[in-house]
Every structure is written in C-alpha cells, then in structure tokens.
Structure 1
C-alpha cells in the first residue's frame, strides 16, 4: 500500500517515544545548560537524519543523491562524535580508547560505503 511518503504507525510511535524522552531529559537537566544543549542538538540531528534518509531512499539514482549522501554522512558523523564523547567521558582510559576507535571506525566505514565503494553493474 502506497502511503504517499507518509510514515506508518510504528515510525510515528518511535518518533513520539523519542520526542517524549528528549523532552523529559531536557526537563530533568534544566539546571545544566550543556546537557540541555546536548539533548536538543542530538534530537534535532536525529530528526534531520531521519528526514534525509527518507529523501535519499526516494531520490532517483544519479548525481542528485550526492548532496543527500553527504548530509546523511555528516549528520551520522556528528551523532557518532557526540555520543562517543559522552560515553568515553564515563569510561576508564582503555574503555574510552575503545569507544573512540569504534566510533572513528564507524565514521570511516560510512564514508567508504557512501563515497568510495561502487556496486558491481
């Protein structure tokens, strides 16, 4: 069934859950401006990422997809760096190094998958 580009009930439920949790995190962190900014930026980046992924899936093949691919990679890189920073901050040194290695590996793999790798014809 074609929904005309609209999400179904399950993605809508996920979005509502995400919005509620971000609202609660902002409410509970109201005395810490850096925590509020982290939650707000992460929320906006996730919403933008989901929108860009939706547009990328619907875009025709070719050069028109390149800006969307760059935006998706940039947003996913931003989120990876943000969450790696927060997680590494509460880990012992060996754990923090592991978090950063995995995060940076994810960023490099995403770049390779989006911009370097070519599928066989």
Structure 2
C-alpha cells in the first residue's frame, strides 16, 4: 500500500513540472526497490500511475467545464468526454504497469532467488 501512495504522489508531482513520461521514473524505481512479486509490481504500477493521471485529467475537466475533454473526445471520435478520462486512466496505467514490472524484473535479473511470479 505504501508503494502505491509513493508512486501516486511522485507521479502527480513530476507530471506537474516534467513531460508526460515522467510517471515512468517513480514506477520503475519503486518496482525495483520495494516490490517483491511481478504481479504486485504490475498492479501497483497500473493503479498508481493510472489514478494520478485520471485525477489530474478530471481536475482539468472540471476546471475548464469540459471544454478540452469535449474537443479531445471529438478528435478521438469517442462519444463522451468521460470516455476520454477512462482512456487517460488506461494509458497512464499501462505505462505505469510496464515501468514497475520492468523495475522488478531488472532487480530479479540480478537476484536469482527472486521469482517472477
């Protein structure tokens, strides 16, 4: 649970000042440092980065009254701006899941006693 909050908070802060891919860094580091199973790394990375991206996108959606989300929904040809928020969660979550899994597998490559399952 602590690893989820660390990934969430660091992703939130880094995405305020750095490019979109900055969420990879905390997920990779926490995956290599704190997590002990591949499945945990995948799920915690997915939920941590995905939640941070979703909440930031929802905040932007609320603050500009959905104008940006409606335009993006039109551009992506999805029906509603809520679908844009779901897509944002999934894309961010997959990015975080791959990063945390890569971090764990990087650690497992150097420690043969760790298993990937």
Give the TM-score normalised by structure 2: 0.40
Larger Rg: 1
Give the TM-score normalised by structure 1: 0.39
